[in-house]
Amino acid sequence: MVEVDVVAKDKHGHPVADLEPKDFTLLDDGQPQKITRISVERGTSEANVGQAATDPSKPNAQTVFSNTHPGNLSPTVILFDMLNTAVEDQAPMKKGLLDSLRHLKEGTPVALLILGDDLTVVSDFTTNTISLANAANSRFMIRPEGFGASISTRRTGNPTFDAIIYKASVVTYRAEDAERAARTIAALNLICAQMSLLPGRKSLLWISGGLNLRHESRPIVDAIDHLNDANIAVYSVDARGVLLDPGSSASADFNDITEPLQEERELARGDVLGIVARSTGGVGYRNTNSLDGAITQALDDRSTVYMIEYYPRHGDWHGKLHKLEVKTSRPGVHLRYRSSYRAILPPPATAQEKNQMLAAVATSPLEFPGIRFTVSVSPGQPADPHFVMHVPADAIQWTSEAGNMLGTLQVWLVQKRAAGEDLVTNTFKADLHLSPDAYQSALHEGVAVATNLKIQSGAAKVRVLVRDENSGKIGSVDVAVDSAPEPRPSR
């Protein structure tokens, strides 16, 4: 099955939230496809943490926690690309970024990375905009080498010598550009590998001075493939701001042999940014001094996302690149989506990969919606509440045996202190064996698995993890709990 996430906007740039399946047509390499399912994810600007209100007049009322709240819909990574940004452009972009971060609404999950000599994590995903801005301010240091030293060679008056010098300059520039591009593509691929573990549509805000690569070059084509495979929409911002014609600049030196080459590089650097953005369903920003528009666009696109699923008719999963086209019959509606996918069946996760994923989800600062589910908590014996995990049936990979549907869920309940340290972990396996009637009922009502849990002294929350053993998909929900304070050590 292939999933295509689609953002629909009207002519004023406002989200269109009332499209129906009949309004869409999907083409795979030009061939119409039968759409299997369309669902809509809607985010809001409210910082809803997934906890349902409880009635204080009903002491035995359930409290419901969920990882389906808007903050989990579309995580955003901001990449400040100092490797490819001139030193004079870094300070204005830093100031613009800090201003934008301080204006973010609480509840927006954002991670912040810097690409310099290495790819550095400034902040993992957090919804705390103040800590995010503080981390950015303290960790962002101007990279003095910027985009690299310019080569300036004055004309000798001898055309033969000038031609030799120009050729040597081209070789030097090309070698530097290739090395810089290789490091940038490697960083993008690493980001793809990490973000691909997150479900649904993700956003990458790439702030950069651009790359000197042709957009049809193999490294760029491969990078776009990886971004699309990971379902990452790129929103690029040309860090050079409003651009002037290099030849019209007062600093242009027409007696410099390399001046035409430098003009060519300056004009071409931003092209790749726009190509990558458009090919992944994002937006490219150029000739602007404001980051606010790009950040606002990336976050606003989370408000309404149509998820279109279909089973391709080609039946060929040997790595061919397939072009995607989504159309709507609704007049005046503009659609954005990834432009392609590579037809490769993902290999089943190994035991080591499952364990690595489990550890990452258990320690992540945010809930993980790989499986979207809710947890109902009702009072039991003192410090012994009753937990019920409600999992949608279509989130489970089922197998069939003698007409019955079989599935397996593994559940972990990790009790944590307020500072985040683990106290104790309980786990159990739920083997699901549903008759045809029970399975049909589960498709409408979901599957429920339950347990009692003795809350440890000092516990502030319980992270509940649910993993489908057949598919390897995993999700987590944080449940706030009250517990007795931990005893102080005796002196």
Distance CA 301, CA 327 (A): 18
Neighbours of 20 (CB within 10 A): 8
**Confidence category of residue 52, pLDDT binned at 50, 70, 90:** very low
Tell me whether strands 318-328 and 63-66 are parallel, antiparallel or unpaired.
Answer: unpaired
Kindly tell me if the per-residue pLDDT of 340 is higher than 50.
yes
DSSP track, 404-433:
EEEEEEEEEEEEE-TTS-EEEEEEEEEEEE
Q: Which residues contact 392 (CB under 8 A, 6 or more apart)?
A: 372, 373, 446, 447
Given this model, what pLDDT does residue 366 score? 76
Query: Where do the DSSP E strands lie in 282-359?
Result: 284-285, 304-310, 318-328, 334-336, 340-344
Given this model, what pLDDT does residue 56 score? 43
Q: Which residues contact 339 (CB under 8 A, 6 or more apart)?
A: 224, 228, 278, 279, 280, 281, 323, 324
User: What percentage of the chain has pLDDT greater than the value 70?
Assistant: 83
Given this model, what pLDDT does residue 30 score? 94
Distance CA 261, CA 252 (A): 12
**Confidence category of residue 453, pLDDT binned at 50, 70, 90:** very high
Distance CA 258, CA 169 (A): 7
Given this model, what pLDDT does residue 411 score? 97
Distance CA 63, CA 218 (A): 53
158 vs 399 pLDDT, higher one: 399
Kindly tell me if the per-residue pLDDT of 101 is higher than 70.
yes
Given this model, what pLDDT does residue 250 score? 44
Distance set, CA 192 to CA 110, 147, 179, 223, 389 (Å): 15, 24, 20, 9, 31
Q: Do the domains spanning 2-43+304-344 and 351-480 agree at the CATH topology level?
A: yes
Kindly tell me if the per-residue pLDDT of 147 is higher than 60.
no
CATH of 74-235+246-283, one of 3.40.50.1820, 3.40.630.30, 3.40.50.410, 3.10.690.10: 3.40.50.410
**Confidence category of residue 374, pLDDT binned at 50, 70, 90:** very high
CB 471 within 8 A of CB 393: no
Q: Which CATH class is domain 351-480?
A: mainly beta
Nearest to 91 by CA among 137, 149, 148, 151: 137
Side-chain half-sphere CA neighbours of 150 within 13 A: 17
Nearest to 389 by CA among 359, 422, 432, 419: 432
99 vs 430 pLDDT, higher one: 430
Residue with tokens 């339950």: 450
3 state SS of 130? helix
361-374 mean pLDDT:
85
Domain residues of the chain, as ranges? 2-43+304-344, 74-235+246-283, 351-480
Name the CATH architecture for the domain at 2-43+304-344: Sandwich (2.60)
CB 246 within 8 A of CB 263: yes
DSSP track, 190-217:
HHHHHHTTS-S-EEEEEEES---S-TTS
**Confidence category of residue 48, pLDDT binned at 50, 70, 90:** very low
